[in-house]
Structure 1
Amino acid sequence: MKQEIEDYRKERDKLEIEESISRIYPFITRVFDVYEIQKSREILYFFGTPKADTENIMGELWAPLEQRGLMGTLRYELGEHVLIVAPMKKAKEKVWVNFALFITTVFTTMICGAWMFGADLSNEPMKIFQGLPFTFAIMAVLGSHEMAHYAMARYHGMKTSLPYFIPFPTFIGTMGAVIHYRGPIPNRKALFDVGVAGPLVGLFVSIAVTVIGLNLNMSSVNPLSDSLMFEPGFPPLFVMIQKAVGVTGSNLHPVAFAGWVGMFVTLLNLLPAGQLDGGHVLRAMLGKKADRISSMMPRILFLIGFYVIYWLKGDGFIWIFWALFLWAFAAAGHPSPLHDKIELDKKRILVGIITFILGFLCFTLIPFKPII
């Protein structure tokens, strides 16, 4: 009886192996000449010789494997190429974490918004709701940026989490939002589309929020400098909007200030370095040549900070901080897309150039002017 059970298990395992192999074998043999197959539990090992460039093999196999709930890795071990295929581990989404962080960020931004409106929360805590206009504005600016990344990543079949908002006791009550990508980048088009979507959508919402804020009544608003202890330096894009709306002066409604924050965030995200959005876009446009520009950005930012501090006698430490940050952040390089040799079309190149121009219009040498 025991022998019969053992034989049954072996036969079942054999059929499972044959079924697994039959599902993917035709796709593998297009790019990989297989001469031996091994199995260890749920993992299949295909030993063989690449028929194409090793960089493009996984690009060809990613879609058919992903559609069947599998993932693959090509390795070169002990003089042999081996393609390792295993079931894809599905990460369970803890949506309650996203929701909890969102609610907490709404609360922290509302506190900051209420301060900007001059509310004394220590004596009148219910005036916290005065900060709702700023909360709606800043959450729209930051949320639209990340949701654009999320939507474009899902469009290209990439695995990604919902946005995680980061509540933090800064002058706006948050450190922004992030999403977590899982798995490889299919190709340079996907890398470009995902990278460019966030800054463009976020900047569009920032412009809309700025226009709305500049048209709001300032009579019930205290000077922002009283609560922030600094005056914001206006980038060219913000100044152009002010002129178009017909509003002058450095004091801003909190909603307009949220638009300013969105422009500053767009600028930082579009720095062409590492895995910032600008780094994604540049890597997609130039391929591996982008690494040279990425490595230069920390030096450029350091020189800008040095110039602002010693020549303009202004606060340039933000650029020194980002130079140091990018030195570590960009040093790891940028992961290559699976289809790295397929170049972008002219339309995407044009959109990329326009995006960097818009990012430059969000730049100002002195973004923060401390109140002495």
Structure 2
Amino acid sequence: MNSPQPFSRHLEPQLSEALADTPVIVIQGARQVGKSTLAGWLADQRESVLVTLDDPAVQAVALSDPGFFVTQADERMLVVDEAQRAPGIILPLKATVDRDRRPGRFLLTGSADLLQVKGIGDSLAGRAEAFDLWPLSQGELARRTNPEDFVTWLLETPAIADSERLVPEVVLRGGYPEVQGRSETRARAWFESYATRLADHDARELAGGGYSDQLRALLSILAASGQHEVVRARLARELSVAENTVAAYLRTATIMRLITHVPSWGRSLRGRAAKRPKTSLNDTGFAASLTGFTARHSVSIGGREFYGALVEQFVALEIAKQRAWSATSYRIHHYRDTDGLEVDLILELADGRLVAIEVKSATDINEKAWRNVERFRDRFHDREVIGVCLYAGDRSWRLHDWLHVLPITSLWQHEGATP
């Protein structure tokens, strides 16, 4: 049974604030992450006209008379769901905004990066602000009143507190709203249907023919790798296509917000830093379902390695989700160099400080778990580095003024606790 109530989204205050000073707001994210629900809630808070381009009749009007379409709301806010289906509305929308720059005139949603869709005639620079909506964060799933903000909490609070252990079911469930409350079997069936529809319909519509057969295979290969550096030549061999075709597939999946990339942190004092980003699917539940991975596999000898990759992906995704509402500005990277030093996540703060994070799926760890964080700090001694080792256990402790060992669950269970 599905959850009886829609989940509140922590991004809503930022969207409401932006609607108060910006003419065009864009909510973009993968299919079924909750864009329409959120847009409908925002529409209910003000006078508005809500239309969806999933409706063939509405889409026909948008395609045949885009000038009329964008002016139909008069003084009210026009909410256009799945706006990427009619890219021709963008130029008339720009023209009407240039004539009347009142804030909150348009709210668009798109199951693709709207401004990268073929046929979009303008970037709407200076007129629009785009927000990424991810699958539900763990704080949203827990229906937290106050949005979780791990990075700000880490920087501002001096003491320590324990938390709960991370259980595999949390990682393998992921954050797509539709699978919450479903059985493991029914969740897997939903994801299978979801991936097939994306490949057979959405990708074909977005990028033309030839994508249907390979996009499904691409998603499965990426799902089986957790968060990793993609080597296009190797991926091309696995898909039996040309390397430039792989690049096109990856671009399409990125535009559809199905995959995400963590860029490398580019500075290296010794050796040469890797430049490839780490790539993964946008949700660990999606990845687990496409690979048939279950909680039972996570405790098997053969499944531990893949589960570890999923846990690293899970942490990176949770931190990326929180970035949208965090009180602290940061950019997310990974680090690897030719000397063999690798750190799972490097968060670069606006003031130049770095948060170096190692992620471990084990419930018991020793000093080897945070050794790379210490090596990273020693190597970049001219930067202030805050070290964190996140693991699946429930105890917290601080080794030095700069190094914390914390449960992974502290990413969202930190309210009232202190690291």
For normalisation by structure 1, the TM-score amounts to 0.29
Structure with bigger RCO (C-alpha 8 Å, 6+ apart): 2
For normalisation by structure 2, the TM-score amounts to 0.26
Question: Rg: which structure is higher?
Answer: 1
